[in-house]
Amino acid sequence: MTLDDDIDNLARIPLFSIFEPNALRMLALSTETRLLRAGDVLFRRGEMSDGGYVLTLGSIALTAANDGRPRSKIVRPWTLIGETALLAPSTRPAAAIAQEPATALKILRPLFHLILEQHPATAARVRDFFRCRLLDFIHDIGAEASASDRDVGRLT
Q: What is the pLDDT of residues 47-93, one digit of tens each?
A: 999 999 999 999 999 998 756 566 589 999 999 999 999 999 999 99
Structural domains in the chain, CATH included, are 3-155 (2.60.120.10)
The per-residue pLDDT for 70 is 62
The per-residue pLDDT for 75 is 96
Quick one: CA dihedral 144, 75, 37, 30, positive or negative? negative
The per-residue pLDDT for 16 is 98
The per-residue pLDDT for 142 is 78
CB 16 within 8 A of CB 117: no
User: Average pLDDT over the chain, rounded to whole?
Assistant: 91
- Among residues 140, 123, 58, the alpha carbon closest in space to that of 86 is found at 123
pTM of the entire predicted model: 0.84
* Alpha-carbon gap, residue 71 to 96, rounded angstroms: 10
